[in-house]
Structure 1
Amino acid sequence: MFGFLHLPGYGPSARRRPRHRKTSSENNKKLLNTLNSETSTLSGTSQQKKMANEEDVFTFQDPGHPDHLMSGLQELRKECRFSDVIICVGATEFPCHRVVLASASSYFKAMFSGELRESLATKIVIHSVSESIMELLLEFSYTGRVDITQKNVEALLEAANLFQFGTVREACSRYLQQRIDASNVLGFHEFAEAHNCTELSELAKEFVIDNFLEVFQTSGEFLQVTQERLVEYISDVNLQIDKEEQVYESVMQWVRADVDNRLSILHKVLEHVRLPFINPRYLVAKVETEPLILSSPACMELVQEARRYHVFDYDRADQPNIRMKPRPCFDISEAMVVVGGCSGGDTKLAKVDCYDPKNNAWHTLSDLPEYNREGYAVVALGNDIYVTGTTDETITSDGCATTWKYSTQSDRWMTMAPMLKSYKCRATVVLHGQIYLLGGTDINGPVADVERYDPFSNSWEEVQPMIKAMNDFTVAACRGKLYVNGRSQGSEKILFQCFDPSTDTWNFIDNSVMPEWSQVPQSITLNGLIYYLRDDSKEVDAYDPIANQWVEVAPMKAMHSSGSVCVIDGKIFVSGGFGELAESNLIECYDPTYDKWAYSGSLPEPRCYHWCVSILKKVEHGDEEE
């Protein structure tokens, strides 16, 4: 028998409760509340699940996947499975996958994605590369690895450059960089230039520049370099050599290796050899007697230029020329020597200081003898400094005046042949390797006399006097002539006289277009122009003697009344003098390239009535006075 389970409220004993019938509106309201409640519950549950999902994210990344993928693709390539293109090189076919090659090489990417027929072809024939090199590039495409050896590096780099495998090209370049030496550097340089390997090219050139003599003596490729490449090396400002003769000998050996084709261009290469800095004895014994040089008029002009330099018959400032500048490796540079002057009023200075503009450093030289003299003049002839001028103290027993010479080699002053006339306040200038001494005054007033000094015979001689004597004037040498500007006694008019030593004649120059000067300025020659720095203002004028025209020039930054001026490395340097308020120690320089003045440094102390000249001097690296 089965029993029955009785639930509460059911069964016979359960009492029925009357049912309440709800209206239709009540039912609708209840249903709406129920739906809203359920919707709210579902929305909250969804937000909780979303937040839970965001907080519970786990990102997995297999670090070995790229390698696994590439090794898998490489395996498929080896098995010739799923390949969609065949690269044909010679008799060898390489089944590959377009997507892999396009990813590894810009060359193949452009080939497959363009409108070329290769974009659809199943077989592509490649020329200009060997099977072994193509295999290396394909291996790299699939594995990212390549074995570079001394045997394959050049061919591999060439192919990597052609097919635009940039990382392979750079790897080959680094391989070659580590193996540069004097025997192979020239070949490496040419190879790098041909394949746009900038870093390798720069490193190879730098090696040649730093080790020129070793490369010249060691490399069998030196005699095969082009004219342009040889000029590139020997004209480089950083070329490292022991002496200029080494450059000359390398050029001559290069010419002799192919005389028939190279003799006609010898002068174009020789102009980059700085013949003025070849030892004079070597120049006479070796260069001037060389048959190849003698056969070329253009080469002989370069030799004559060097000879003029050796006899001081060349003005670096008037006609600037790279051959007239020593190479930086010789550790020689142009320096400014400041001689004498006054400081603190009438205190006369015996000091002689040397200034290196590149290093902004001062060095003290031997003191000036007879520094109490007044109205003396200073010039540089070659690398020596000459002081001329007369006072009662400098007149010798026979009535002549002493000439002093400072030797840069010995740092010593010595007396030279006395001047012919004992005039005061004379002007001096160098032309064609000789010192000209002009004008001056005696007890009767200004004189027009001119005398000339020859450093090789150590003698003075009289030359044609000026047309008009002057007592306030300035002189400059430019383009082989002397130009004198000044006033004659009792006149305010500025006269302009010119002396031509080739004809030994003076003549007046039309001064109707000259600037108006209240005082006669200082003058200096640079690049074929005569610059006039005014003594009573910041203004500067320039005169072109060839065109007989005046040129507008930027004004100085400060006034330098009774200062001094010289030319160094193609720039005008003016120093000291009286500023607008007091004595000045300022140095400023003018760059004609930009027509601009700039402050360059300062004198050791304020100084005026001093002289500045430019010489070539060995750079001193110790005991510098700032």
Structure 2
Amino acid sequence: LKRLRKKNSMTDVELKLPDRSTISCHKLILVAASPFFATMFESGMKESTQQVVQLDFSDAVTIKMIIDYFYSGEIDINVGNVQDLIAASEFLCLDDLKGHLGAFMTDQINASNCFEFYRYARKFNLGKLIPHCLEHILANFAQAFRSIETIIHLSEEELISVVSDDRLKADNEDMVFHCVVRWTNADPKKRRDAFVKIASFIRFPFCTQELLDRVPREPLMMNSACLDILSEAMSVRSPTQTPSWLPVHRSSITSGTLNLLVSSTGIYWIDEEGAHGKWRTESSNHSSFNWVPHWVTNYSSMFIQGKLFSFGGQKNGAYCSTVQSLDPIEREWKPEPPMLQPCSKPYIVHFGNKIYVLGGVDASGQTLFTQEFDPVWGTWQLKAEMPGVCQSGAAVSLNENIFVVGGAERVCFRFTPSSDTWTVLSRPTH
């Protein structure tokens, strides 16, 4: 049959493809291979009497591969063509081929494509692929949802199927909440009502205290149904569910160079020799322990979602873009997505659900970079540069703005994140 087709011998129909090329075929082969063609040529449709049949259900390359498969029983499947072949198999009712294609996709699943594959599997009813994709999504939630494009194109049903599953693994429930908010804000008019329904599946008791303090101010939560959900979550929240570090030994606060930080759970002081102290606000107790010292110096620190983060610094005199978080269980530093620009001792400001890294020092001297970090999705963006240098000053967020004040230059700068603009204000008098 392949030989006859190659010689155009005894062919009785031509298939016209989207690129205007044609393929000579035997109707008998098409009818035997595909229920679609069987219906076309045996049910009295107009195509049954035409010598040339127009096909436009896929691109020309994919259609040619399918026709070759009818004659040879062989087809080259790869990552680049598998989704087009599945769509074509669905159109032509080729269940066996679709099953093989689904099996191929199962072997290709990873954390970066699992949700794309999941949506495709649901669309084309690839029953065996669906549970494998869902398992990867639940096990790699943070990476699977890192792209905003992945989130905003989900259906309500698809999003609920993920956030409601008890197998979902995340460092905390903050990321789940931010995911649902992003999905809703992509089309607020159509999705605002759905937010209330989906919010009921978020495990608010397992959110960080930092998020719970801000949630009531989220516009989407300002309705009786969501506030009831939040109130119930707060009532069942147990202190044991809040990440905490157990004391190793009691000690007094010592003198020397310390990094002092404040979070919603207490006051922390840290030295670069590996000693860590904490004053717990909930118990008014002081505790301390030793951890693996940081391998860089002159970094800036901040508590984010219950973890200590370090930004930048120096190693052997070289300026670093390194970002690390201190794991409270293993008491070791773990890598996070690096900054876009290396520097030491930048200002760190928490604003909304973002972290802003301002200025700092690099090999050329004082820098003016404004770097925005999203700790939920682990992404960085460069924003408008600072209007000037501010050495040894201070930075703070207030209402809708961030202020950089003082320093050797006695400046006052205002940054508005919503418009990505800096404004130079009157200098301090002292």
How far has the Cα of 1:85 moved from its partner?
1.9
Q: Give the Cα–Cα distance (whole angstroms) in 2 for the partners of residues 258 and 239 of structure 1.
A: 25
Partner residue in 1 for 2:22: 93
SS in 1 for 2:14: strand
Partner residue in 1 for 2:8: 80
Among candidates 166, 182, 190, match of residue 95 of structure 2: 166
Q: Give the Cα–Cα distance (whole angstroms) in 1 for the partners of residues 104 and 126 of structure 2.
A: 12
Q: Which amino acid aligns with 1:239?
A: L
Given that residues 87 and 93 in structure 1 are in contact (C-alpha distance below 8 angstroms), is that contact kept between their aligned partners in structure 2?
A: yes
Partner residue in 2 for 1:132: 61
Q: Give the Cα–Cα distance (whole angstroms) in 1 for the partners of residues 54 and 36 of structure 2.
A: 14
How far has the Cα of 1:87 moved from its partner?
1.8
Q: Give the Cα–Cα distance (whole angstroms) in 1 for the partners of residues 148 and 194 of structure 2.
A: 23
Among candidates 191, 194, 198, match of residue 265 of structure 1: 194
Q: Give the Cα–Cα distance (whole angstroms) in 2 for the partners of residues 263 and 206 of structure 1.
A: 28
Any unmatched runs of 5+ in structure 2? Answer: 242-430
How far has the Cα of 1:220 moved from its partner?
4.0
Mapping of residues 165-564 of structure 1, within 5 Å: 165-217=94-146, 220-278=149-207, 281-282=209-210, 284-293=212-221, 295-310=222-237
Q: Which amino acid aligns with 2:160?
A: V
The 1:250–1:102 alpha-carbon spacing in structure 2 relative to 1, beyond 3 Å, is same
Give CA deviations for 1:474-532 in whole Å, capped at 9, x if unaligned.
Answer: xxxxxxxxxxxxxxxxxxxxxxxxxxxxxxxxxxxxxxxxxxxxxxxxxxxxxxxxxxx
Q: Which amino acid aligns with 1:89?
A: L
Q: RCO higher in 1 or 2 (8 Å CA, sep ≥ 6)?
A: 1
The 1:310–1:210 alpha-carbon spacing in structure 2 relative to 1, beyond 3 Å, is closer
Given that residues 5 and 24 in structure 2 are in contact (C-alpha distance below 8 angstroms), is that contact kept between their aligned partners in structure 1?
A: yes
The 1:84–1:291 alpha-carbon spacing in structure 2 relative to 1, beyond 3 Å, is closer
Q: Give the Cα–Cα distance (whole angstroms) in 2 for the partners of residues 263 and 217 of structure 1.
A: 22
Matched positions, count:
240
How far has the Cα of 1:261 moved from its partner?
4.4
Partner residue in 2 for 1:56: none
Partner residue in 2 for 1:154: 83
How far has the Cα of 1:82 moved from its partner?
0.7
SS in 2 for 1:124: strand
The 1:310–1:236 alpha-carbon spacing in structure 2 relative to 1, beyond 3 Å, is closer
Give CA deviations for 1:560-613 in whole Å, capped at 9, x if unaligned.
Answer: xxxxxxxxxxxxxxxxxxxxxxxxxxxxxxxxxxxxxxxxxxxxxxxxxxxxxx
Given that residues 151 and 182 in structure 2 are in contact (C-alpha distance below 8 angstroms), is that contact kept between their aligned partners in structure 1?
A: no
The percentage of aligned residue pairs carrying the same residue is 26
Q: Give the Cα–Cα distance (whole angstroms) in 2 for the partners of residues 183 and 311 of structure 1.
A: 34
SS in 1 for 2:166: coil
Q: Give the Cα–Cα distance (whole angstroms) in 1 for the partners of residues 136 and 17 of structure 2.
A: 38
The 1:171–1:210 alpha-carbon spacing in structure 2 relative to 1, beyond 3 Å, is same
Alignment of 1:106 onto 2:15: no
Q: Give the Cα–Cα distance (whole angstroms) in 1 for the partners of residues 183 and 160 of structure 2.
A: 11
The 1:264–1:96 alpha-carbon spacing in structure 2 relative to 1, beyond 3 Å, is same
SS in 2 for 1:158: helix
How far has the Cα of 1:185 moved from its partner?
2.0
Q: Which amino acid aligns with 1:299?
A: C
Q: Which amino acid aligns with 1:174?
A: A
How far has the Cα of 1:81 moved from its partner?
0.8
Give CA deviations for 1:7-31 in whole Å, capped at 9, x if unaligned.
Answer: xxxxxxxxxxxxxxxxxxxxxxxxx
SS in 1 for 2:67: helix
How far has the Cα of 1:274 moved from its partner?
2.0
How far has the Cα of 1:189 moved from its partner?
1.6
Given that residues 186 and 219 in structure 1 are in contact (C-alpha distance below 8 angstroms), is that contact kept between their aligned partners in structure 2?
A: no
Q: Which amino acid aligns with 2:230?
A: V
Q: Which amino acid aligns with 1:93?
A: T
Higher Rg of the two aligned structures: 1
Q: Which amino acid aligns with 2:128?
A: E
Given that residues 196 and 225 in structure 2 are in contact (C-alpha distance below 8 angstroms), is that contact kept between their aligned partners in structure 1?
A: yes
Q: Give the Cα–Cα distance (whole angstroms) in 2 for the partners of residues 132 and 311 of structure 1.
A: 59
Q: Which amino acid aligns with 1:108?
A: F
How far has the Cα of 1:76 moved from its partner?
1.0
SS in 2 for 1:221: helix
Q: Give the Cα–Cα distance (whole angstroms) in 2 for the partners of residues 303 and 261 of structure 1.
A: 23
Q: Give the Cα–Cα distance (whole angstroms) in 2 for the partners of residues 102 and 251 of structure 1.
A: 48
TM norm structure 2 = 0.51
Partner residue in 1 for 2:301: none
Q: Which amino acid aligns with 1:115?
A: G
Q: Give the Cα–Cα distance (whole angstroms) in 1 for the partners of residues 211 and 88 of structure 2.
A: 50
How far has the Cα of 1:291 moved from its partner?
4.0
Q: Give the Cα–Cα distance (whole angstroms) in 2 for the partners of residues 302 and 75 of structure 1.
A: 69
SS in 1 for 2:15: strand
SS in 2 for 1:86: strand
The 1:264–1:166 alpha-carbon spacing in structure 2 relative to 1, beyond 3 Å, is closer
Q: Give the Cα–Cα distance (whole angstroms) in 1 for the partners of residues 35 and 191 of structure 2.
A: 43
How far has the Cα of 1:223 moved from its partner?
3.3
TM norm structure 1 = 0.36
Q: Give the Cα–Cα distance (whole angstroms) in 2 for the partners of residues 164 and 306 of structure 1.
A: 49
Among candidates 44, 51, 61, match of residue 115 of structure 1: 44
Q: Give the Cα–Cα distance (whole angstroms) in 1 for the partners of residues 64 and 238 of structure 2.
A: 68
How far has the Cα of 1:111 moved from its partner?
2.4
Q: Give the Cα–Cα distance (whole angstroms) in 1 for the partners of residues 212 and 137 of structure 2.
A: 29
Given that residues 215 and 222 in structure 1 are in contact (C-alpha distance below 8 angstroms), is that contact kept between their aligned partners in structure 2?
A: no
